[in-house]
Amino acid sequence: MIPEYMSGTVLEELPEEKKEFSFSRRRFFKVFGKGLVVLIVAKDLFSREALAANPASAAIPENQVGAWIHILEDGTVKVFTGKVEVGQNIRTSLSQAVAEELRVPLSSVIMIMGDTDLVPPDGGTIGSRSTPQMGSQLRRAAATARLALIEMAAKNWNADPKSLQANQGMVIDPGANKKMSYGELTKGQQLLLHLSNDVHLAPANEWKVLGKTALKINGDSFVTGKHKFVSDMKVPDMLYGKVLRAPTYLSKLISADIGKAQAIPGVTVVRDGDFIGLVAANPRIAEKAIQMIQAQWDTIGTQPSRTEIFDYLVKNGNPRRSVANDLEQAFASADMRLKNTFHVNYIAHVPLEPRAALARWEDGKLTVWTGTQRPFGVRQELSRTFNVAEDNVRVIVPDTGSAYGGKHSGEAALEAARLSRAVKKPVKLVWTREEEFVWAYFRPAGVIEVDSGIGKDGNIVAWKFHNYNSGPAAIDTQYAISSQENSYIPSKTPLKQGSYRGLASTANVFARESHIADIARLLKKDQLEFRLKNLNDQRLKAVLEAAAKAFGWNSNMQSSGRGYGIACGYDKGGYVATCAEIAINDNKEVKVIRLTEAFECGAIVNPGQLENQIMGAMIQGLGGALFEAVDFADGKILNHRLSLYRVPRFEDVPKIDIVMLNREDLPSAGAGEAAIIGVAPAIRNAILDASGIGLTTLPLLPDSGFSIKI
């Protein structure tokens, strides 16, 4: 039996035939039931010949289908996609996309997400790609289905399809006063279509479901506590796992005495090379048992600590390319030159639900429930590690307690599967907060050197921007600078690092926008005007102007103990500008009074959710801007608990105003990331305005001598 794992989703017992699933029409309908299906496939998949022969019956390799929409005989619409829901609310916004084009009520759309046996492979829910890519593909597929349904009705009624309409899950002939529901139309049918790229999509100004606020689709299952996160799940015969952790990243296991743990009734210790874990009938017993294992560890090698990290990153940077001649000349011709070095600390994602996995082996087939942004990536990891075919591994991702780029990997899944294989029972493993802090991965630390030359007329004529280690995203500047070089220099990292909401763009925008503020100050120019004068990008200018207006920015803003800052940037389809007002006292205590942010990411899909995402990103951004930093020494994380690692709380939230620009003429982009990038530089520039001190390290406080006032 499969436990009920996902509210709002009909649970499917998987039929036997699924095992050799490919998209031949016959097999598909045998597995999923009759109806009408529209497949989203990579464009070049259908050779002209294959299409000409018979588009509907061509067998399509499974790995080339991106998603599909299935209209069942009862009119239910099921959408199958490998995307996952981790709080960004795509379960809701993707449903809206389908409902819009298929002309069905939102409530009749059911999203089947992130189950590798039920949905087609997907590269992962990462990089803000769900809305621009999956969203627009699903719209096309839904429109294709709508047209097919209209055609079917037209045939039935012997009518001209052009005279028919689709509305509320029905095809209607207004002239003849006839109606037929999608369910009636698809009854007994086995129609497999591929998405047509030529369909007409409703323009944003005609949207009826999209473009409107829709509340979280399965919200009631959360406010009642009914939704089962992975950490909540239970299956029959399930045991609880626990893994022995090394005391530091530099520890190597020499020996372990497992006798005492093994002697506890019901405890089984599992050794597999250097891996030691155990299972018990209750997590409290597992916890007690793991503490009774006496392990000897050796220390191997050394690792830089936080105090040396920035030197280390620069020293270990791969040799940079030589600077172009004309850039040197441009610098030589400049009237003034300004150099800054910025530092960005490692920070932790701290998803409120730590990693968890439940693994079960049955007849050589492995099923793992786990919260990850890359179910198919984790399936591959499992398949390689345990040497089983990918077809024999099923990864299921119930709606998960957040990720922010921090759950691309499958550590807990591998550990639970290893334990389960050894004890031949299902095993659930829930990481502690401390394990999540120490054994997951971090947003990279970085060093960014910025060097600029300014001409007599106040234009920037030369620009050199080097980012060590934190990444290349948003490294190119939107400022009009005739000679420039922006390069990302990979380095060695002592800590495991990976993706994060707005990853490198946060670092790059922080450095660039801080440096721009320093130049403007040097030239005694207003922060806003200087930017508008030097920017070419109209969309960026538009958000800057909108933010400034809502904030009440003016060049004479001055009041004692207050500072005002502004910053702007672009990342992954989102344009953002942020204004900050801070208060500062003689003890260098800083308080953020208010933030105003303008954001534009094309046509707005769901204004309520967009506002929610922007607000969330800004508040999360406050942490990295003000106080979040991973502290580490000698291969050990020192602040590995929530009582030691500060994240933003209610009292940290300033007054926040959000302006959303709706560009109905532009395609929609994702909104989960770019909204974070303006917060840190806007606050930094406000501190500069108030104190004359330009801080250069993230977080800005408290190591800089400034501290936070609540």
Partner 1 sequence: MLLTINGIKHEVNADAGASLLSVLRDDLDITGSKYGCGEGACGACTVLVNGSAIRSCITPVSLVAGKEITTIEGLEKNGKLHPVQEAFLKSDAFQCTYCTSGMIMSSVSLLMMNPKPTDADIISAMNGNICRCGTYPRIIKAIKLAAESQNK
Q: Using CB positions, name the residue nearest to ligand FES.
A: 352
Cα–Cα dist 286/357, whole Å: 16
Give me the least distance between CB of 646 and ligand FES, in Å please: 14
Tell me the closest approach of the beta carbon of residue 222 to ligand FES, in angstroms: 9
Q: How far is the CB of 214 from ligand FES (least distance, A)?
A: 17
Shortest Å, Cβ 160 to partner 1: 43
Tell me which of ligand FES, partner 1, none is bound by residue 654, counting a contact when its beta carbon lies within the kind-specific cut-off of 5 to 8 angstroms. none
Q: Residue count at the site for ligand FES (CB under 6 A)? A: 3
Q: Quick one: tokens of 27?
A: 């097999």
CA distance 551 to 227: 40
Q: How far is the CB of 224 from ligand FES (least distance, A)?
A: 15
For ligand FES, the closer CB: 354 or 699: 354
Query: Any residues with CB less than 8 A from the CB of 594 and at least 6 apart, and which?
Result: 551, 580, 581, 654, 655, 656, 657
Rounded Cα–Cα distance for residues 161 and 183 (Å) = 18
What is the closest distance, in whole angstroms, from the C-beta atom of residue 596 to partner 1 in the complex? Answer: 14
For the chain, the residue count is 710
- Measured CA to CA in angstroms, residue 465 lies from 329, 447, 448, 474 at distances of 16, 11, 7, 12
Q: Which of residues 58-87 bind ligand FES (CB under 6 A)?
A: 87
Interatomic CA distance for residues 589 and 246, integer angstroms: 40
- Shortest distance, position 227 Cβ to partner 1, whole Å: 7
- Establish if 224 lies at the interface with partner 1 (CB under 8 A): yes
d(CA 146, CA 144): 5
Dihedral of the alpha carbons of 659, 660, 663, 666, in degrees to the nearest 10: 130
Closest distance between ligand FES and the C-beta of residue 433, in Å?
A: 8
- Minimal distance, residue 462 CB to partner 1, in Å: 39
Closer CB to ligand FES, 51 or 352, in the complex? 352
Given partner 1, ligand FES, none, residue 392, with its beta carbon under 5 to 8 Å by kind, binds none
Q: Which residues contact 328 (CB under 8 A, 6 or more apart)?
A: none
Alpha-carbon distance of 108 to 421, in angstroms, equals 40
> How far apart are the C-alpha atoms of 372 and 356, rounded to whole Å?
9
**Residues 317-376 close enough to bind ligand FES by CB under 6 A:** 352
Task: Establish if 657 lies at the interface with partner 1 (CB under 8 A).
Answer: no
Q: What gap in Å lies between CA 209 and CA 199, rounded to an integer?
A: 18
Q: What order of strands is seen across the sheet that includes strand 170-173?
A: 165-167, 170-173, 178-181
Pairing type for strands 574-584 and 562-571 reads: antiparallel
Which tokens hold the place of 41?
């496939």
Instruction: Using CB under 8 A, pick the residue from 42, 51, 56, 215 that binds partner 1.
Output: 215
Q: Which does 353 bind (CB under 5 to 8 A by kind): ligand FES, partner 1, none?
A: partner 1
Site for ligand FES in 183-222 (CB under 6 A): none
Which of 116-124, 231-239, 358-366, 577-585 is the region at the interface with partner 1 (rule: CB under 8 A)?
231-239
Considering the rule CB under 6 A, would residue 263 count as an interface residue with ligand FES?
no
Check residue 648 for interaction with ligand FES (CB under 6 A).
no
Binding partner of residue 593 among ligand FES, partner 1, none, CB cut-off 5 to 8 Å per kind: none
648 binds, among partner 1, ligand FES, none (CB under 5 to 8 A by kind): partner 1
Does 231 bind partner 1 (CB under 8 A)? Our answer is yes
Distance in angstroms (rounded) separating the CA atoms of residues 697 and 514:
11
Query: What's the rounded Cα separation, in Å, for the pair 279 and 272?
Result: 14
Among 248, 402, 639, 704, binds ligand FES (CB under 6 A): 402
Shortest separation between residue 9's beta carbon and partner 1, angstroms: 15
Look at residue 384 and give the partner it binds from ligand FES, partner 1, none, a contact being a CB closer than 5 to 8 Å depending on partner kind. Answer: none
Nearest-10 crossing angle of helices 538-551, 527-534:
160
Alpha carbon distance 309, 479 (integer Å): 31
Cβ closest to partner 1, residue 401 vs residue 410: 401
Q: Which is nearer to partner 1, 493 or 612 (CB)?
A: 612
Tell me the C-alpha to C-alpha distance, in Å, between residue 575 and each of 28, 547, 568. Answer: 42, 11, 8
Tally of CA atoms within 13 A in the half-sphere of 347 that contains its CB? 30
Nearer to ligand FES, 133 or 402 (CB): 402
Using the rule CB under 8 A, is 401 a contact of partner 1?
A: yes
Query: Which of partner 1, ligand FES, none sits in contact with 351, Cβ below 5 to 8 A by type?
Result: partner 1
> Rounded to an integer, what distance in angstroms lies between the CA atom of residue 188 and that of residue 571?
47
Rounded to the nearest whole angstrom, what is the least distance from the CB of residue 402 to ligand FES in the complex?
A: 5
Burial of residue 537 (number of CB atoms within 10 Å: 0-12, 13-18, 19+): middle
Helix, strand and coil content of the chain, in percent to the nearest 5, comes to 35, 25, 40
Cβ nearer to ligand FES, comparing 648 with 670: 648
Place of tokens 């994060």: 500
Size of the site for partner 1 (CB under 8 A): 56
Structure tokens that stand for 504 in this block: 């490198």
Considering the rule CB under 8 A, would residue 500 count as an interface residue with partner 1?
no
Pick the binder of partner 1 from 351, 398, 444, 670 (CB under 8 A): 351
| DSSP SS3 for 480 | coil
Secondary structure (DSSP) of 250-283: TEEEEEEE-HHHHHSTT-EEEEETTEEEEEESSH
618 binds partner 1 (CB under 8 A): yes
Q: What is the crossing angle of helices 90-102 and 136-157, to 10°?
A: 30
CA quadruple 164, 168, 170, 174: dihedral sign: negative
Residue ranges in 244-303 that form contacts with partner 1 under rule CB under 8 A: 282-284
Site string for ligand FES, 82-101 (x = CB under 6 A): -----x--------------
Q: Please state the closest distance from residue 666 (CB atom) to partner 1, in A.
A: 25
Q: Is 227 in the site for partner 1 (CB under 8 A)?
A: yes
Q: Supply the Cα-derived Rg of the chain in whole angstroms.
A: 28
Residue 487's binding partner among ligand FES, partner 1, none (Cβ under 5 to 8 angstroms by kind) is: none
From the CB of 495, what's the least distance to partner 1, in Å? 20
Please report how close the Cβ of residue 572 comes to partner 1 at its closest, in angstroms: 18
CB of 431 to ligand FES, least distance (A): 13
Residue 87 or 371 with smaller CB distance to ligand FES = 87
Rounded Cα distance between 515 and 340, Å, is: 7
Residues that bind ligand FES (CB under 6 A): 87, 352, 402
Binding site for partner 1 (CB under 8 A): 86-89, 215-216, 219-220, 222-229, 231-232, 234, 240, 282-284, 350-354, 399-402, 404, 430, 432-433, 608-609, 612-613, 615-620, 641-643, 647-651, 653, 656
